[in-house]
Amino acid sequence: MKFVISFFFLSLSAHSFPIHLYHEDNVSEAGMYKEILMKEYLIPEELISVRTVNNCEVQKAEGKLDLCLKNNGDLLMVSVDRAFINESLKIFQAP
């Protein structure tokens, strides 16, 4: 799973699609997750938006990858464009 996510993040960087990181008034942990995305997956800072929301469960999908950090520390995947992932992974297939 980490392998697929790594390629997804790599392809996000290549195609410049933003990642939306929402949080329920948990700014410090959201910042920590943003740092992880930047350092571990080499996602440019300008491609990661961090926003406060009232409730992760009612958050609507906006992009290729939307994550939401709940007050209890759970990280929810609000949306992920699986078709985009599949299309992006074709780049890495052997000829």
pLDDT tens track for 27-57: 899 999 999 888 887 778 888 899 999 998 8
Is 23 in contact with 32 (CB distance < 8 Å)? no
Give yes or no for residue 19 having a pLDDT over 50.
Answer: yes
SS3 per-residue string spanning the chain: CHHHHHHHHHHHHHHCCCEEEEECCCHHHHHHHHHHHHHHCCCCHHHEEEEECCCHHHCCCCCCEEEEECCCCCEEEEEECHHHHHHHHHHHCCC
Judging by DSSP bridges, how do beta strands 65-69 and 75-80 pair with one another? antiparallel
Q: Pick the residue with more confidence: 90 or 93? A: 90
| Cα separation, 95 vs 81, whole angstroms | 25
